[in-house]
Structure 1
């Protein structure tokens, strides 16, 4: 819907408060999942997205700059990867320097140079303002624009309205677009409200959601600008300069030729100035990078802020109000996780809410948003508490190692140890209705979880579906598996067909059994062997709606034609694992094969043995727990 020219009551499916990357991402997903040509939904999901500040004002904020590999994978599956890589700085190199300016290795952001198990073996640096431009342009294609100068005031949840029905939530919005003295309020009635309104969120309090954490006395400076000159040896690397006064100074090469410098400004430094303004930040930035020299051509943004960590106890309330991004969890920028954690929230909630609103997914599945994202946010907060202290040049109070150690050395170790979490490649979820995994046999679950945090992560339910290269039929051209499974709110059943005769027989049996499950979209796996008067016989003739499921078949070898190998058409599209790398990465026995059900967000939902007689019933049962 277009921005409101004058306040008027609005009646929509979803109200999104906050038009930063998280809110824009969610609005984009809900439109993408319910509009042609990617959706056959009878009616597109209606969205009203508001933002307190106009875009020019938003652009004066520095904010986040880095996407790590997993974020780029999920954004790519949303169809946005190319737009980001066209503009971003792909940073593949790190550099750390001690107080004398001597390069030291294994410190700072050194984990950046060892990224593996992803196409995106680099940090994708693109300032938030340009990320927002991409999302806004995509939303405009769906006819959705941000209603700027509109602030959230309060909300009311009408318990008499059934959960999920229109009008359950009533939000009061203040429109200030008319200028001072002409402010007006209007009401938004909606099924669901999503608070993406940042660390100073009003939605969280209005929804009655408590949070835990605190704010420290540390203050950090961030300054973005174009340098006229510098003696920094590697200015295009993700840098760390170990200053005895300013802590571990951050140096990031930004898009459009700019550079970000960040450092802790202690109380003694702050007391030197009557006012902390841009001139002060420039002067302090020059001192923070000593012994190197910098000279600014232009400063785009500079600010000082307090460091704090908070996490909401629940990410949704009253079966109607969600929190995402900084509204759900706020932390420092020390590990560069802010925008990434927000993207993970958005991709987790987006498909679930989208499919609920289009009537496909059971509403109970919405509970898994908190179950999956809150523990990861809490982990990030604990991790960030240590990182923020180390960046400020001190050891954490509870550090169990040698208290005489250099905080810069400890920082490098912690960042390296947390590589899987930093890159997002080992972020996993516990068993729930959307993650079919049994951990009851693990004697030491904590040790098991720790092991699963090592890159490459395990190819098991609850963890990301690894991106591997397979070959296209006929042309034998390599293609990335994630590119074959775009996030259009559909599940993917990926069948690794085994080499053995038993596996081939199991494949034929599986295919025949699928025809008896009408909800598993038999049209995508036509049973050409059985016909009556030229009409395909699909077994179950009930009128149950077809589930949003697509099939892929991965053959274990490069062949001339899939039929000759299988004795039938493959299930869905077919690709070849010529070198065995796909089977290996998915931990599949190449002789016996296996079946995976991948969720729309790219995480593995379930795994089954191809040779199991109940494999189709098991797939049907897993999906039946989620879908109507």
Structure 2
């Protein structure tokens, strides 16, 4: 059961459905909210959406934005790419697309499997029973006719926003602060001679509030105005976000863009918000049967567009674990790693947001804003998010790369000679193994065959016959040329099957090898084994060929089963 029909709830339903699990999703709203809210999708999130086959429509619809820039008194003072040049990704940009389009795409995909958001409905009571198969008994209220239904469920996802009713039912505290920073936002068709209208731009001048502006789908532009509650119209009795009017937002936007012109041709949506940063003390409860995702677990300002991306990160972290638990490929203890891994990420998002939101709202702190944004670009784009290895989570100690995002480098397929990305064809429910070999020789083949056998065996962990180890998708990456490869495989009885697994790392000075070598202790390893989790994070690395198969066995014995 999923409570909340926004993007996080819909993505959860979509991935659970893809995993073969049955889902129901409810929402208290009579109709979906078609405007406002999350509209930034960062590059790392796009990589994960591609693994799920959910990126095509969004990429075709949204605005691709490569830079974030700052203007002071009409002059450009800083411009930085959203994604640092060191990142190798198919998506080195920000995608700006309305949340209603993201929701419509996800709902359309669910409709193909006869799953619809049930509106207006919500869960009003959660009881835990002794039933081992369906331990949750949920009371579902239909708010249209006040009827109730009893639903027996294995799990409950609370994706119901910052005011989450599910979070309150499971007695999880939501700690943090609400600031005195208020904002106004509008989506509009505009006419302007401002040169930065196709990028994300922060504008400050001596005569106006701070304004953020960036393009949206279908020629729209989103405009944020950062107000200080104490500077609002003193004639009004209540000094809060409710005193901000559409005219205030439009007027401040025009003043901030001076000396450039801004004409608002039509306003599609406008609203106000108050900046706050809050974090749930835990993101799961009731013996890992109830989970909080997205704003129900963490909330922050919209300044750097982290809300939707952090929520999607929660989904991609949790769903593959839950799906494998249900298929007896992971032990139930694996679900405990959800809060362990995701809550520190949310905490870091909030800490960055506190500084950035305060700097954006203060016309005197342009330098601070630019420095903070630049310093945290790797993290805010998603590529720098890292899960620190520990004895209790789904990562292994030993190498610096464990817990980092796995680089999706460009390679050449040995069979076809076509360019590809290293994780093309890998879905969100498969572990993958990269075996990086500097120069493929006859001496390398016995080790390669051992790894192939270890990936194919499956087996069970630690003799526990209840669990079947997840399948491993193997890719062999070599710096050999096509001619060298042909010489090495000539006369080998399994040459055709080996060739299907091999890609050539001959682009950008063997970039794939350099990425992974930099993560090893020696920085010069000739052979590296990398185990990649379904959510695209490195589970463990090994750079001693004699330990390759034992590393895989150790991971699945300790971390999985």
CA distance in structure 1 between the aligned counterparts of 2:235 and 2:41, rounded to whole angstroms: 36
Give, in angstroms, the shift of residue 161 of structure 1. 4.0
Give, in angstroms, the shift of residue 562 of structure 1. 5.8
Residues 1:206 and 1:571: Cα distance change in structure 2 (over 3 Å):
farther
SS in 2 for 1:615: helix
CA distance in structure 2 between the aligned counterparts of 1:577 and 1:369, rounded to whole angstroms: 34
- Corresponding residue for residue 260 of structure 2: 292
Residues 1:336 and 1:547: Cα distance change in structure 2 (over 3 Å):
closer
CA distance in structure 2 between the aligned counterparts of 1:545 and 1:563, rounded to whole angstroms: 36
Give, in angstroms, the shift of residue 280 of structure 1. 4.1
CA distance in structure 1 between the aligned counterparts of 2:166 and 2:455, rounded to whole angstroms: 45
CA distance in structure 2 between the aligned counterparts of 1:95 and 1:371, rounded to whole angstroms: 35
Residues 1:570 and 1:268: Cα distance change in structure 2 (over 3 Å):
same
Residues 1:507 and 1:321: Cα distance change in structure 2 (over 3 Å):
same
Q: Is 2:184 aligned against 1:211?
A: no
CA distance in structure 2 between the aligned counterparts of 1:224 and 1:514, rounded to whole angstroms: 51
Residues 1:116 and 1:53: Cα distance change in structure 2 (over 3 Å):
farther
Give, in angstroms, the shift of residue 608 of structure 1. 1.9
Question: Which of these residues, 428, 447, 457, is aligned with residue 506 of structure 1?
Answer: 447
CA distance in structure 2 between the aligned counterparts of 1:513 and 1:80, rounded to whole angstroms: 32
SS in 1 for 2:224: strand
Give, in angstroms, the shift of residue 96 of structure 1. 2.3
**Residue pair 1:263, 1:288 contacting (<8 A) in 2 also:** no
Question: Which of these residues, 491, 501, 504, is aligned with residue 573 of structure 1?
Answer: 501
- In the TM superposition, 1:480-499 aligns within 5 A as 480-487=421-428, 489-499=429-439
Give, in angstroms, the shift of residue 511 of structure 1. 4.2
**Residue pair 1:68, 1:123 contacting (<8 A) in 2 also:** yes
Residue by residue over 1:314-366, the C-alpha shift from the partner in whole angstroms, topping out at 9 and shown as x without a partner, is 11011211001010001111121111111111110111112112232211000
Residues 1:284 and 1:119: Cα distance change in structure 2 (over 3 Å):
same
**Residue pair 2:183, 2:273 contacting (<8 A) in 1 also:** yes
Q: Which moved more, 1:184-193 or 1:494-503?
A: 494-503
Gaps of 5+ in 2: 238-242
**Residue pair 1:550, 1:572 contacting (<8 A) in 2 also:** no
Residues 1:602 and 1:356: Cα distance change in structure 2 (over 3 Å):
same
Q: Is 2:556 aligned against 1:616?
A: no
Q: Is 2:164 aligned against 1:189?
A: no
- In the TM superposition, 1:217-616 aligns within 5 A as 217-227=180-190, 229-244=191-206, 246-266=208-228, 267-271=230-234, 276-319=244-287, 320-393=289-362, 406-432=364-390, 433-438=393-398, 460-487=401-428, 489-499=429-439, 502-511=443-452, 517-519=457-459, 545=468, 547-559=470-482, 564-566=487-489, 567=492, 568=494, 569-570=497-498, 573-579=501-507, 580-587=510-517, 592-609=526-543, 611-612=545-546, 614-616=547-549
Gaps of 5+ in 1: 1-14, 35-44, 395-405, 440-457, 522-539
- Corresponding residue for residue 117 of structure 2: 146
Residue by residue over 1:152-205, the C-alpha shift from the partner in whole angstroms, topping out at 9 and shown as x without a partner, is 3232333x344xx31x2223332133xxxx322223321111111111111111
- Corresponding residue for residue 240 of structure 2: none
Residue by residue over 1:94-152, the C-alpha shift from the partner in whole angstroms, topping out at 9 and shown as x without a partner, is 442213x122225xxx3427454122111111111101111111111222111121133
Residues 1:545 and 1:258: Cα distance change in structure 2 (over 3 Å):
same
SS in 2 for 1:197: coil
SS in 2 for 1:482: coil
Give, in angstroms, the shift of residue 247 of structure 1. 4.1
TM-score scaled by length of structure 2: 0.89
Question: Which of these residues, 158, 166, 173, is aligned with residue 140 of structure 2?
Answer: 173
Residues 1:126 and 1:518: Cα distance change in structure 2 (over 3 Å):
closer
CA RMSD of aligned residues (A): 2.6
SS in 2 for 1:156: strand
Give, in angstroms, the shift of residue 560 of structure 1. 5.5
Give, in angstroms, the shift of residue 272 of structure 1. 5.0
Residues 1:186 and 1:113: Cα distance change in structure 2 (over 3 Å):
closer
Q: Is 2:82 aligned against 1:112?
A: yes
TM-score scaled by length of structure 1: 0.80
CA distance in structure 1 between the aligned counterparts of 2:467 and 2:349, rounded to whole angstroms: 42
Q: Which moved more, 1:603-612 or 1:343-352?
A: 603-612
Residues 1:561 and 1:22: Cα distance change in structure 2 (over 3 Å):
farther
Q: Is 2:92 aligned against 1:129?
A: no
**Residue pair 1:518, 1:544 contacting (<8 A) in 2 also:** no
SS in 2 for 1:216: strand
SS in 1 for 2:385: coil
Residues 1:152 and 1:293: Cα distance change in structure 2 (over 3 Å):
farther
Q: Give the number of aligned pairs.
A: 537
Residues 1:382 and 1:438: Cα distance change in structure 2 (over 3 Å):
same
CA distance in structure 2 between the aligned counterparts of 1:324 and 1:466, rounded to whole angstroms: 26
CA distance in structure 2 between the aligned counterparts of 1:427 and 1:287, rounded to whole angstroms: 37
CA distance in structure 2 between the aligned counterparts of 1:508 and 1:268, rounded to whole angstroms: 70
CA distance in structure 2 between the aligned counterparts of 1:265 and 1:620, rounded to whole angstroms: 56
**Residue pair 2:83, 2:381 contacting (<8 A) in 1 also:** no
Residues 1:113 and 1:367: Cα distance change in structure 2 (over 3 Å):
closer
SS in 1 for 2:155: strand
SS in 1 for 2:420: strand
CA distance in structure 2 between the aligned counterparts of 1:313 and 1:113, rounded to whole angstroms: 31
**Residue pair 1:553, 1:572 contacting (<8 A) in 2 also:** no
CA distance in structure 2 between the aligned counterparts of 1:324 and 1:245, rounded to whole angstroms: 41
**Residue pair 2:395, 2:559 contacting (<8 A) in 1 also:** no
Q: Is 2:3 aligned against 1:53?
A: no
SS in 2 for 1:90: strand
Question: Which of these residues, 13, 23, 32, is aligned with residue 9 of structure 2?
Answer: 23
Residues 1:563 and 1:114: Cα distance change in structure 2 (over 3 Å):
closer
Q: Which moved more, 1:284-293 or 1:546-555?
A: 284-293
- Corresponding residue for residue 68 of structure 1: 42
